[in-house]
Structure 1
Amino acid sequence: MSNFVFVLDTDRRPLNPTHPGAARHLLNTGKAAVFRRYPFTIILKEACPDVPVQDLELKLDPGSKVTGIAIKQGNKVIFGAELQHRGQQIKNALLSRRQLRRSRRNRKTRYRQARFLNRTRPDGWLAPSLQHRVDTILTWVNRLRRFAPISSITQELVRFDPQLMQNPEISGVQYQQGELQGYEVREYLLEKWNRRCAYCSIENVPFEIEHIQPKSRGGSDRVSNLTIACHACNQSKGNQDIRDFLFCKPDLLNRILKQAKSPLKDAAAVNSTRWALFHALKETGLLVTTGTGGQTKFNRTRLYLPKSHWLDAACVGQVESLEVLTSNPLLITAKGHGTRQMCGTDKFGFPNRHRTNQKSWFGFQTGDLVRAVVASGKFAGRWVGRISVRSRPSFKLASSKIFDVHPRYLQVIHHADGYSYTA
């Protein structure tokens, strides 16, 4: 089933989200109109000041590439979304700009000594690719607050002690080997090894923690000496040295040894942004609570839920039970708002085109989601997709096929807002 539909009254006061069937009935009877396509929101044609509103909880699972979003009403999950970031794209763009500027300075100016210490950065400064993650999540938090009566936020952030909360007298071995034993390390290894067996690359099977250098041969329990393996590979390797076990597979041996020492780039990005995001969420004035990654996985495993970003978000923090009322999360991809670069370059870095100051042409701009009704020709039919505008009346439409279309055949469904959507 699709996500619940957000509802506003005529004063744009957020009301309780409603079932898609009820929203369809309100639209068909003329009691409401479509306010926004993504996320789908309707607006009533009368004020409802006396209608009771139930507080909702917004849950976040911040990630380096994808952030999971879920909204809970009691123990019911009524909305899910996955927000895909473009941090790597920003990093690549800044790298390209730096290379172009350095090349131009070397070509057109005399040598100048480096002056890289004449700029100071404020406390809490983050690189643009990391700050983008914080800003994008905060944008969607504020956006969802306008459409739904959200009263609290739960973010996957820090480790706290649920065992001590349940049993204040816990101590010793019982304290160390509680319900969450192994979940933190196991989740780290699953992310580092891409949820595949290190030896046979099989997926979607129960994995076991494997010592690359066996403990019986002097290996330690450090994370750099751990990997994940399926039961068959783990039993086959036994306590052999990995070089003996993979003697006939030197490429696989080199890959495993290299990956074991490599840092988790995505984990580093999350660690760098988690506190900045937490403080930004606190500034919203809502109640903000936190949970750990191990607790999230423990809740998901206990509730027998499949692995996905938005369901991980629903399992963040203290969760007793969950009733998932939606199965189709809204997929959101950050696209940006264009570029200020006035001179485009070819793949070698030489200028080959110039841009105009005007972004809107014939009432459309790049990124608009449109419906095209083409009466005749090779592409006759109804199409829905994003457009790329030009100064001449011939726009590029990206749908199931990519072709040029005249703006007179187009009707805007959703204006460009820096994101693309898949419902």
Structure 2
Amino acid sequence: MTTEVAKRRTTNYFKQVQASVLFKAGAVLASFISIPILIRYLGVEKFGVWSTILSVMTWLVLFDLGVGNGLKNCVSKALADNNRVEARKYISAGYTLIGGIAIVLWLFSFFGAYYIPWHRVFNTIAVSENEIRLTVQISLSCIILNFWMGLVGAILGGFQKTSLVALGQLYSNIFSLFFVCLVWAMLDPSIVVLAIVYGVAVIFSSILLSVGFYKDNKDLIPVFFWRRKYINPLLSVGLTFFTIQIAVLVVFTTDKILITQFFGPQMVTQYEVVMKIFALFSFAHALISAPLWPAYSDAFHRKDNHWIRQMLIKQLMVFAVFVVAVIVMVLIAKKIILIWIGDDLAVSIDLILVIAIFILVSIWNNIYAMILNGVGKTNVQLITAVLAMLFNIPLAYVLVRVYGLGVSGVVVAATVSLLFSAVALPIQVFRSALKENSGE
């Protein structure tokens, strides 16, 4: 390990954050502009159905069995060893493996959609059964195709170029906003049309990223490649991440399903609007933390634990700033919603407060998860994530049905479930991750 390598890593980190802020700000702005347009286009209940469908569709991204995250770590290690030939083999193995998974997943989910009672799932009669099914099938097809094409995001992460992933999100959101405006002006309300619009936007953004990356890295263009030596590491590392992702998914994305089942899809809109406001802080923190995963991995493989410690201190200082900013947002959130959406949507201060706390706890957890992901120490994270998954839904039921906390009860349950990680992850970082592999 040399001081020069550490300086380059730090410089690259700040460059990625700066570029990500620009790209992500544009992506968030496009998303915010599209929300009131979609609510006016679809109406409150149909928008709730559409928003829930999007959440369900994002679950499929996790069915890469964690291969994307495994590939990120393997590519990062190969580059730390200055071995681009090895990196290409992992990249090729990743595309081959994901391609096979995508085909099986598409066949299973596309035809399985005919046997699911969608009206019961979304608790609505505002949209016909056939329209919901077709929307789901179109969304499935687009997301699963991007499931394979979007693997470039993991590779960019391994190259410590996470800002380009944010650029892809900017492309996708701008394309979506443009077509949503056209649809609003020209067509009758239809969630099927929106499924096509969003699907095409996501796929096109992945195409642009892939063309740009492989144009500059022709020696890494993947080919069909199936060797257990390279497949097994992707799966062994990936399956741990996959289990963690599934568990975290239950906590983070089942809220809309629970709210739909407890209160109906019209209440999802209230939740979605408040969450969109406070998700700004999650987005902002993601811009800061995402480049750290591969950077921590690079530092760990070069035995530079001093750099990891210094960066953790800086992240905790940033967290303090986020706490203050979130408190300010709690005080002005209602005024923002009034200006943004209008007076047609009433939002309680209780919901605002519990979502604010949920966001802060998730950011705290993410600080330590980035270190543990980068250094490959995920056992404690796995255990706490599974505990959160098992705890979340039963607690939500009790808080809503027994104690009558309403929509806020669903968010409180998710927040309490995250407390396992909030305590355990910092302990693991300080007791083990920062003490091992030290080259100081």
Smaller-chain TM-score bracket = under 0.3
Structure with the greater relative contact order (CA < 8 A, sep ≥ 6): 1 or 2? 2
Q: More helix per residue: 1 or 2?
A: 2
Q: More strand per residue: 1 or 2?
A: 1
User: Which protein shows a greater Rg?
Assistant: 1
TM-score, scaled relative to structure 1 = 0.23
